[in-house]
Structure 1
Amino acid sequence: MALSDESCRSLVPRYLYSSPSSSQRLFNLDMPFAKIDQIQNQGMVPPSKYSSPPAPKAAGRRFMIPAPSEKIEMFSPAYYAACGAGGSLSCGLTHTGITPLDLVKCNMQIDPAKYKSTASGFGILLKEQGVKGLFRGWVPTLLGYSVQGACKMGFYEFFKKYYSDIAGPEYAAKYKTLIYLAGSASAEVIADVALCPMEAVKVRVQTQPGFARGLADGLPKFVKAEGVLGLYKGLVPLWGRQIPYTMMKFASFENIVEMLYKHAIPTPKEECSKSLQLGVSFAGGYVAGVLCALVSHPADNLVSFLNNAKGATVGDAVKKMGLWGLCTRGLPLRIVMIGTLTGAQWGIYDSFKVFVGLPTTGGAALPAATKP
């Protein structure tokens, strides 16, 4: 019984053939291999155009079969998983890389009498704890921000699409900044639940010398002292710091990148090289990071204060630091730290997206609403 072309094709593993349109096929599976060899020898069709692979006639004969170009389907579960993986890399690596800056910043917030400036803070830590001490708390930082980054980026892409579908194409375009704000806020609520326990241990390890060497001994000691719920004591202040930070981070980044492609770069985004697009991502991320630092700094001081002092309240923090201190203590260092951090995060995130075959973030229309 003769098999149809499609039936034969279904018996061949997909990676063994390319898939040109029917009008482009010069021969099919029923064509004898001798005829295929004749066409090849006459130079009519290079081997890379075969719709079906010829069997090698002798050992050592080489032939090449192009694999189909696979791409991740936009807004599919695999797409959101890829965005989560990129977010985990971007946030985990960057936060871990700036552990020394974060360590000095936290100590300046907790003990400004001792750590009067960035330079003196580094000098004191080097003198008392050595170079190794500058990376104290890197393990909870890496784990906490890797999980947080995965939730933040993955859920942001999900909620951005979800809210765009609810609004419809017209309102999604008209109120795109509101969609950026709502999507990033929704994602950060989830991400901070994952981050909070590691953040609590990190701050305690970094600001109380002798408390613990790292996560392995710090987490059990923290739980023994304050219970499991104590790990979430700073969740509300963490939301207060991270939600405005993330809303500013995503909304400003999306709008800055759009303005760069519209006014500073004469070429449409789709025609720009990938290296230029990644440069735009870093630049937009750096500016967005400076704005993030200004918005979220008071809450950052609160988080450091509450996680350092057992039984402390927000009122205690305000009374001891004052409103001006909450807004300004450690701010210059945090502006440099967060600007660099955010720029690097967007650069790494979009580099990962390009690596897996996805477009970079920003500079294009919002995702189209789902059509029936």
Structure 2
Amino acid sequence: MSRSTAGTDPKKGIVNPPSGNPVTAAVKKPYPFWLGGVAASIAASITHPLDLTKVRLQTSGDKGMIKSIQKTVAANGVRGLFDGLTGTLLRQMTYSMMRFAVYDWAKEAVHTEPGPPPAYKMALAGSIAGGVAGIIGNPAELMMVRMQADKAKPPERRYNYRNSVQGLYRMTREEGFSSWTRGIVPNAARAVLMNMSQLASYDWFKGELIRRKVMEDGPVLHFVASLGAGTVATTVCSPADVLKSRIMNAHGPGSSSTLAVIRTSLANEGPMFMFKGWVPAWTRLQPTTILIFLTLEQLKKGVDRYREAGGTLL
């Protein structure tokens, strides 16, 4: 660090304490595990209309992102672009919070040697984080998809959940606890792919740009690294994302299995159905990825400043 009161030894990975502290050196305290969830919630609240449009393109007959947005506004007003926001926030504070927390732990677990971890270890850590978060966050993911897609359906096929908590209660009462695992296979697969590509590629881009002295650590670097991570993640995750949305939104017995959805979609649309909604997915994921990492980096800096000022609660 460049501050006079604290600094990081890049070889030892330790932080020099503020002047006046009798301890000569201490291992840097981990950041609060919930920072990733807060950063993701802020980003998702801003980009929610794009995520809503992506889900409706994947689960309905809407053609084109702009037309889908116009259809939503015409039917439900501007507020309609924020349908299912409580489901999105529930998802961010379960799935997203867990993936960032587990990723930091997994990186330390798979890389114990000096220096930064290589790309394959970062990808492995991202895969572990995605698998854990995808399973734990599946009920919230399911609720988010249902709430976002609901008003694009005919009235008789809508779930009409008031909010995510009431929706989880109704889903459990009407469909049983087993409904919490609906779509868990493609959701977990997507989560593995997402975190392997997004978290690992962000770290990789950031590390390479610093190592090659292209940029110094700061908001511009975070923006560029996020841009690369978002593009990689969108392409890698598109097939699993489409399958997850269609399975979670399916009606009727036997219609929600992974094989049934694949067979029906291939027969009706061909193999390119796996990339349906790629443009709105990229359009939505890019600002989300940029906002998440920019926000997370600033939250971490805020925690650093708080600790340097003597704070002990974080």
The TM-score range, normalised by the shorter chain, is 0.7 to 0.9
Show the counterpart of 1:283.
224
Q: Aligned in 2, Cα 1:75/1:186: closer, same or farther, shift over 3 Å? A: farther
Report 1:188-203 matches (<5 A).
188-203=130-145
Greater length-normalized contact order (CA 8 Å, ≥ 6 residues apart): 2
Please state if 1:90 is matched with 2:39. Answer: yes
CA distance in 1, matches of 2:167, 2:39: 25
Show the counterpart of 1:150.
97
Show the counterpart of 1:177.
119
Show the counterpart of 2:13.
none
Q: CA contact under 8 A between 1:185 and 1:246: conserved in structure 2?
A: yes
Q: Aligned in 2, Cα 1:73/1:278: closer, same or farther, shift over 3 Å? A: farther
Q: Which runs of 5+ in 1 are unaligned?
A: 1-17, 19-65, 267-271, 359-372
Show the counterpart of 2:108.
161
| Partner residue of 1:253 out of 199, 202, 206 | 202
TM-score, scaled relative to structure 1: 0.68
Which amino acid in 1 is paired with 2:100?
Answer: M
Show the counterpart of 2:276.
329
CA distance in 2, matches of 1:154, 1:73: 22
Q: Deviations over 1:311-364 (max 9, x none)?
A: 411122212322523322100111111121111111111111111118xxxxxx
Q: Cα offset for 1:238?
A: 0.7
Q: Cα offset for 1:263?
A: 3.3
Q: Aligned in 2, Cα 1:190/1:258: closer, same or farther, shift over 3 Å? A: same
Q: Deviations over 1:283-332 (max 9, x none)?
A: 10121111100000111111110111134111222123225233221001
Q: CA contact under 8 A between 1:244 and 1:296: conserved in structure 2?
A: yes
Show the counterpart of 1:43.
none
CA distance in 1, matches of 2:294, 2:41: 13
CA distance in 2, matches of 1:339, 1:189: 22
Q: Cα offset for 1:216?
A: 3.8
Show the counterpart of 2:176.
227
| Partner residue of 1:299 out of 213, 218, 240 | 240
Which amino acid in 2 is paired with 1:152?
Answer: R
Q: Aligned in 2, Cα 1:73/1:302: closer, same or farther, shift over 3 Å? A: farther
Q: How many residues align?
A: 274
Please state if 1:120 is matched with 2:67. Answer: yes
Larger gyration radius, structure 1 or structure 2: 1
| Partner residue of 1:357 out of 291, 297, 304 | 304
RMSD: 2.5
Q: CA contact under 8 A between 2:242 and 2:275: conserved in structure 1?
A: no
Which amino acid in 2 is paired with 1:187?
Answer: A
